[in-house]
Amino acid sequence: MSGPPPVGREALFWQEAGRGRVRCTLCPHLCVIAEGAEGLCKARGVRDGRLQALTYAHPATIISDEIEKKPLYHFYPGTRALSLGSFGCNVLCSGCQNWQISHANARTDTTRLALLTPSDAVAMARKHKLSGVVFTYNDPVVWIEYVHDVCAQFKEAGLYTAFITASYVTQEALDYVAPVIDAFKFDLKAASADGWAWLSKVKDPAPALAMTIRAKEVHGCHVEVVSNIVPGMNDDDASLTAMATWVHDNLGAKTPWHVTRFLPDFELSYIPATPIRVLERGVTLGHAAGLSFVYVGNVPDHPGRNTVCPGCGRTVIVRGERAETLRIREGLCSTCGESLGLVAAWD
Ligand code: SF4
């Protein structure tokens, strides 16, 4: 995709750090950045003594996609959304499947960036009859000013908004963006701090866990959780149980948990894809931990993608080429009346 080089706009969330440097307070890395340089994420840099959001209004990826691909399974099933991503990321995962943009530098590699203002994004969604916008592919934290402005306009237009994230963000920044976010998909990367550090360069996941709980409890976002199961890293029974238990105890029994198949890519190309039986074991252990909705992800046509009512055991959403809702009335199972934790147009 060709387009103008990024011009960005002045960033929020920073303070002067002395000797011409700036401290970015958007995420817990709290980078101290010198004049002319960028932070760890490569999306925020200091120019003329002030922090700039270098990718504001400059997506690298603009796609219409099914909401199930994010994956969000209990949020407007069967709809399509405008999906936006850009350069840079603050979690830098070793096995990232979008490394071509998430590890790109907004200063040196600009030819693939487009220009899309917030009002242009709404117009594009309307033109293509899309139901909302999803920020995905790189972590939306790093261009939070644009995410905020786009989502505010989508909500004004009566369309939904979703944020696909590792949630490594400061409370001040979360509280700025969350009021315009409807759905929040959290990447729970591992059961331990060592696992997080190995997979994502985040040494202490505590802020990410705390901000996910805050998104749900304080801001009322619909939350779903994904754990990408990497062989030899987080695929043992103890890790799967620990992750499921965290979801259950902190977000509730009806929070969807997706155990997704790792596929070799980027710095982890030497690790084989996750065996499907390991994902199925994750589903069993997730249910044993008390979760009602545990899904197999990244395996096309697997029956573990369907939603089964925890009350009566009937299948209520089938996910083939597209999601088809069955036996649901106003978010409840029409057979037994069980609440399915769904957000959709009937709410
Ligand atoms: S958002 Fe980027 S520049 Fe700011 S603290 Fe995080 S990694 Fe550093």
Residue range 305-342, pLDDT digits in tens: 999 999 999 999 999 888 998 889 988 999 999 999 99
Residue ranges making up the domain that contains 184 = 61-302
Residue nearest atom 2 in ligand 1 by C-alpha distance: 41
In this model, does residue 228 exceed pLDDT 50? yes
C-alpha of residue 40 to centroid of ligand 1, in Å: 6
Task: Determine the pLDDT at residue 326.
Answer: 86
Angle between helices 206-217 and 237-251 (to 10 degrees): 40
Q: Work out the pLDDT band at 4, boundaries 50, 70, 90.
A: very low
Domain count, the chain: 3
In this model, does residue 2 exceed pLDDT 70? no
Q: Taking CB atoms and a 6 Å cutoff, what residues make up the pocket around ligand 1?
A: 24, 26-27, 29-31, 39-41, 44, 90, 142
Is residue 2 a part of any domain in this protein?
no
Is residue 98 a part of any domain in this protein?
yes
Is residue 334 a part of any domain in this protein?
yes
Which of the two residues, 96 and 221, has the higher pLDDT score?
A: 221
Q: Which atom of ligand 1 is nearest to the CA of 141?
A: 1
Q: Which atom of ligand 1 is nearest to the CA of 51?
A: 3
Task: Determine the pLDDT at residue 158.
Answer: 97
Together in a domain, 265 and 329: no
Together in a domain, 223 and 310: no
Together in a domain, 331 and 297: no
Residue range 117-143, pLDDT digits in tens: 999 999 999 999 999 999 999 999 999
Q: Which atom of ligand 1 is nearest to the CA of 43?
A: 2
Task: Determine the pLDDT at residue 248.
Answer: 98
- Please name the residue that has the structure tokens 């011409």: 20
Is residue 248 a part of any domain in this protein?
yes
Q: Which of the residue ranges 106-115, 143-152, 315-324 would you say has the lowest mean pLDDT?
A: 106-115
Distance between terminal CA atoms of the chain? 38
Q: How far apart are CA 215 and CA 202, in angstroms?
A: 20
Together in a domain, 114 and 144: yes
Task: Determine the pLDDT at residue 105.
Answer: 81
C-alpha of residue 300 to centroid of ligand 1, in Å: 35
How are beta strands 160-165 and 132-135 bridged, if at all? parallel
C-alpha of residue 98 to centroid of ligand 1, in Å: 19
Task: Determine the pLDDT at residue 215.
Answer: 98
Each as own residue / partner, the long-range contacts of residues 20-26 (CB below 8 Å, 24 or more positions apart, any chain) are 20/49, 21/46, 22/46, 22/49, 22/50, 22/51, 24/51, 25/170, 25/172, 25/173, 26/90, 26/141, 26/142, 26/144, 26/169, 26/170, 26/173
Strand pairing partners for 160?
A: 132
Q: Which atom of ligand 1 is nearest to the CA of 44?
A: 3
Is residue 1 a part of any domain in this protein?
no
The enclosing domain of 277 has a CATH number of 3.20.20.70
Together in a domain, 298 and 310: no
